[in-house]
Amino acid sequence: MSSRSGALTAWLADHGFDPGRLVFAGRTAVAACLAFVGAWALGLEHPQWAGMAVWAASQPTRGQLIEKSFFRALGTLVGATAGVLLVVSMEIHPALLVVGLAAWVGACTYVGNLQRGLVAYGTVLAGYTAAMVALLDTAHPEHVLDLATDRLATVLTGVVMAMLVGYLFAPPLASDALKGRVLALLAGLMDRLAGSGPQARDETDQALLSEIGALEEGLDPHAAGSLRSRRDVHAVRRVLLAAVQVLLHRRDGAPELLDPQILEGLRAAAIYFRHGDVASARAALETVIARLAPGGGMHDDLAQLRLALEDWQQRDGDRSVAAEAGSPSLPVVLHRDWVGARESTIRAAGCLLFFGAVWLVTGWTAIAFLLLGLSIMLSLFSTMENPARLMRSVLLGQVYGAIGALTCRWLVWPLAGAEWQIILFTLPFILVGPLLVGHRRTAAASFDYNMVMLLLLQPHWPLTGSFVTSLSAAVAVTAAPVIAIAAYNMVYPPTLQHRLRNLLSALLHDIADLAADTGAVQRRWVWQARLYHRTLRLVRLSEPSEKANLKALDAGLALLNLGRAAIRLHELQETATSSGRRAIDAALARMSQIATRPQQASGTLEAVARRLQADDAVLLRDAADGIAALRPYLEKSAQAA
C-alpha cells in the first residue's frame, strides 16, 4: 500500500502537482460542497456564499483556521451592518450610497494597513462585505435586511463547516522549528560577541540582522489561535529585539570583551543555545553580566536579553526580575506604515468614487459587480507586498472563474429539472478547484477561480435571466483586476523602491524626533524598540532584490547606530560641562535636521567624538560614518522635495 502511495505521490510531483497542497485543497473543496448543499437545505437565498466562505476561511493549521474563522465572522457581521446602513442612505439619495461606500471601504483599508496578520484581514473584509450587501440587490432596497441576514447566515454556515472539516484534519503549527532557529541565531550572536565566529564583521552582522528579520516576520502565524500563543510570540519578539540591541553594541566596539572569563561565558552560552538548554544559557549570561560594569553598555544590553529569555521561558510575562535588575524591560513597539495606509485609502476611495459616479450616470447594473470587485482588489490586496504583480494572477483566476460560471449556468444547468439538480450539477465545478490549487502553474490563480465561479452563480429554480446579462456580469467582475492593475501602477505605485523610501523616511523622522526629544533618556526603550522593529522590516522588505537588500542592511545599521548615538548624547548632557553641553546640543540639533543636512550632522558628531572617551567616541564616529550609507537615499529625497 505504501509503495502505491509513494508511486502516486511521485507521479503527481512529476506532472506539476504538489501532493500536500492537493490534499489540503481537496478537503477544502469537500467542505465547500457540504456548506453549499447545507446552506441550500436550510433555505438560504445565496447558498453559494457559504462555499465561498469555506475557501476564504480554510487554513493549513488549526490555530490559523480558528483565528481566521473568528475574524471572518466578525468582519462579516460589522460589514453587513454597514451595508444595510448604506442601502438605507440610498433611499435619501443614490449618491450617498456611492460616497458612503467609498468612505467605508477607504476607512477599512486605512485601518487594515496599520494592522498585522488576520486582524487586518477581518478589517478589510468588513469593508468589502458592506459592498456585497449594498450592491448586489440595489433594485430591491426593501429586501436589504433579508440580504444582510442571508449574507451573515451563509458565511457562518461556511465558517462552521470549514472549522469542522479543518479541525479534524489540520495539524497544529509546529513550534519546534521556530525555537530551533531562534536558538541557533542566539548561538551565532554569542559566537560573534566572543570573536569565535567569522572575522568579516560587517558581513556577519548583516547575516545576523537578516536572520532576525526573517524570524520576526514569520512570527504572526505562530500567534494565531490562542492567547497563550500570542504571549509566546510576544516573548519571542522581545528576544529578537534584544538580540538586535546586542548586535549593535558589538558594532560599536566592546573593549570589555577582552576579559577571558567573559569570553568563556559567552562561548558557554553559545554551546548551551545550540543544545537547546535555555536555562543554562541564561545562567552563563548571568555570569557574564556579573563581571560587566553596570550602568550602560554591554551590561544593560545582555541584561535585556536575559530578561527577554526569562519571559520566553516563563510565558507569563513576569516582570519581577526586571524590577530587580534596575532597568525596565525592552517593550515590543511594532512598525505602522502610516504613509502607505494613507496612500492605499486614497487609491481605493478615489477609484470607487469615480466608477460609482459612472454607475450613477449610466445606470448600467453590471457596474455593481465592478464596484464589488474593486472594493476587494483595492483593499485586501493593498496590505500585500506587491499587489500589482498579484493582480495578474487574480485576473487569470477570475477569467477561469467566469468561464466556469458561464459554462455551468448556460450549458449544464439547463439540463436540470429541479432546484436540487442545479445544486448537484454545481458540485463538479467546485471540485475542479483542488486541481487548480494543487498544480504549480495554476496555484496562484486558483483562489479567484473558486470565489468568482461561485459569486456569479445564483442557484434558483426556475432559471431566469439572459446570457447577455450573465456575460455582462462576468465582464464587469473580470474588469476589476484590470482597473486595479492600472490603479496600482498609476496612483502611489506600491513598488519595492516606493515602500523602501517610505520606510527609510519613517526611520529618519524617528532619528530626528529622538534627537529633539528632551525626555529621550526616560523613553529610550520605546525609541529603541521602534527603531529595531522598523529596521527589521526594512531588511525583510528589501530581500527580493539583492542589491536593494545590501543597501538596506547598511542603511538600517547606520540608522540604528544613529539612534544609539542620539540617546547617548542625551545621557551625556546631564554630566557635561557648559562647553561640552553646547557641543552636544549642536550635535542633537543637527541630527534633528538629518534628512536635509546630513553632512552637517556627520561633522558635528565627529567634533563631539573628539571630546569624548574611547567608548563614546567610537559610537559617535560609527554613527557619523554610517551617514554615508544614507546619502544616496537622502539625495533622492532632496531631489523629490
Confidence check: pLDDT of 256 > 80 = no
d(CA 319, CA 309): 12
The confidence score (pLDDT) of residue 109 equals 97
pLDDT digits (tens, 9 = 90+) for 529-565: 888 888 888 888 887 776 777 777 778 778 888 998 9
Confidence check: pLDDT of 82 > 60 = yes
CB proximity list for 561: less than 8 A, separation 6 or greater: 248, 251, 252, 619, 622, 623, 626
pLDDT digits (tens, 9 = 90+) for 328-356: 567 888 889 999 999 999 999 999 999 99
pLDDT digits (tens, 9 = 90+) for 366-376: 888 899 999 99
CB proximity list for 488: less than 8 A, separation 6 or greater: 347, 387, 388, 391, 494
* pLDDT tier, 319 (very low <50, low <70, confident <90, very high otherwise): very low
Buried b (16+ CB within 10 A) or exposed e, 568-583: bbbbbbeebeeeeeeb
Confidence check: pLDDT of 594 > 80 = yes
Strand partners, 17: 439
The confidence score (pLDDT) of residue 558 equals 84
d(CA 36, CA 292): 66
| Residue appearing with cell numbers 455551468 | 408
Q: How many CB atoms lie within 10 A of CB 168?
A: 10
In this prediction, what percent of the chain has a pLDDT beyond 90?
45
What's CA 384's distance to the chain center, in Å?
7
The confidence score (pLDDT) of residue 324 equals 42
Of residues 505 and 249, more confidence is placed in: 505
Confidence check: pLDDT of 639 > 60 = no
In this prediction, residues 586-593 reach a mean pLDDT of 91
In this prediction, residues 253-282 reach a mean pLDDT of 84
Check if the beta carbon of residue 34 is closer than 8 Å to that of residue 42.
no
d(CA 572, CA 553): 28
Residue 439, SS3 per DSSP: strand
Instruction: Tell me the DSSP string of 265-319.
Output: HHHHHHHHHHTT-HHHHHHHHHHHHHHSPSSSHHHHHHHHHHHHHHHHHH-S---
Confidence check: pLDDT of 138 > 70 = no
Confidence check: pLDDT of 152 > 70 = yes
Instruction: Tell me the DSSP string of 353-367.
Output: HHHHHHHHHH--TTH
The confidence score (pLDDT) of residue 141 equals 67
Check if the beta carbon of residue 245 is closer than 8 Å to that of residue 297.
no
pLDDT digits (tens, 9 = 90+) for 600-632: 888 889 888 888 877 788 888 888 888 877 876
- Domain ranges for the chain, please list them: 12-172+336-490, 176-223+226-325, 496-640
In this prediction, what percent of the chain has a pLDDT beyond 70?
90
* pLDDT tier, 316 (very low <50, low <70, confident <90, very high otherwise): very low
In this prediction, residues 460-475 reach a mean pLDDT of 92
The confidence score (pLDDT) of residue 504 equals 86
pLDDT digits (tens, 9 = 90+) for 377-429: 999 999 888 898 899 999 999 999 999 999 999 999 999 999 999 999 999 99
Quick one: which of 293, 324, 295 has its CA closest to 306? 324
Strand partners, 439: 17
Let me know if 12 is exposed, middle or buried by CB neighbors in 10 A (0-12, 13-18, 19+): middle
* Backbone dihedral angles phi then psi of residue 439, each to the nearest 5 degrees: -95, 135
* pLDDT tier, 296 (very low <50, low <70, confident <90, very high otherwise): low
What's CA 306's distance to the chain center, in Å?
28
Average pLDDT, the chain: 86
* pLDDT tier, 198 (very low <50, low <70, confident <90, very high otherwise): very low
CB proximity list for 521: less than 8 A, separation 6 or greater: 567, 570, 571, 574
Of 118-122, 177-181, 452-456, minimum mean pLDDT range: 177-181
Confidence check: pLDDT of 21 > 50 = yes
Confidence check: pLDDT of 460 > 80 = yes
Q: What is the pTM of this model?
A: 0.85
* Backbone dihedral angles phi then psi of residue 17, each to the nearest 5 degrees: -95, 145
